[in-house]
């Protein structure tokens, strides 16, 4: 049995801010007179251990309180399904709708120097 490790929200928010500011980027050729923007992808697993999962209302509240104030110029949220190797994600534990854990993917695009 593995212990569940919780990370304080302030550390998560600091990580998000740093990753958004200094995260790696994929650069491709841009048409002339245009600039290459950076895209940062953040993955939020919704499983919170033995207590269940982050609800849609909790995610909405987090988005309003934490994401919009930091990335108000625009962002995209995509629903996903997380997979990984390990005991809890064997074939017989994969949900019928796909994945071992519901996931939110936050995409943030920003221009050079932002």
Q: Is residue 1 part of a domain?
A: no
Q: Is residue 74 part of a domain?
A: yes
Q: Is residue 28 part of a domain?
A: no
How many domains are contained in the chain? 1
pLDDT digits (tens, 9 = 90+) for 42-97: 999 998 878 888 999 999 999 999 999 999 889 999 998 887 776 667 666 666 55
Q: Is residue 63 part of a domain?
A: yes
Q: Is residue 108 part of a domain?
A: yes
Q: Is residue 51 part of a domain?
A: yes
Q: Is residue 89 part of a domain?
A: yes
Contact between 84 and 100 under an 8 Å Cβ cutoff? The reply is yes
| pLDDT higher than threshold 90 for residue 98 | no
Of 61 and 19, the one with more pLDDT = 61
User: Could you tell me the residue range of the domain that residue 48 belongs to?
Assistant: 38-114
Average pLDDT, the chain: 77
Average confidence (pLDDT) over 100-111: 90
Angle at 65 between CA 69 and CA 22, to 5 degrees: 50
Name the pTM for this structure.
0.65
């Amino acid at each position: 049995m593995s212990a569940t490790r919780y990370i304080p929200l302030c550390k998560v928010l600091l990580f998000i801010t740093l990753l958004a500011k200094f995260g790696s980027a994929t650069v491709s050729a841009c048409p002339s007179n245009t600039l290459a923007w950076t895209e940062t992808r953040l993955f939020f697993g919704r499983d919170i251990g033995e207590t269940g999962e982050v609800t849609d209302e909790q995610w909405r509240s987090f988005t309003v309180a934490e994401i919009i104030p930091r990335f108000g110029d625009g962002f995209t949220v995509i629903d996903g399904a997380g997979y990984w190797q390990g005991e809890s994600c064997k074939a017989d534990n994969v949900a019928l709708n796909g994945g071992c854990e519901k996931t939110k993917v936050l995409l943030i695009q920003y221009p050079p120097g932002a």
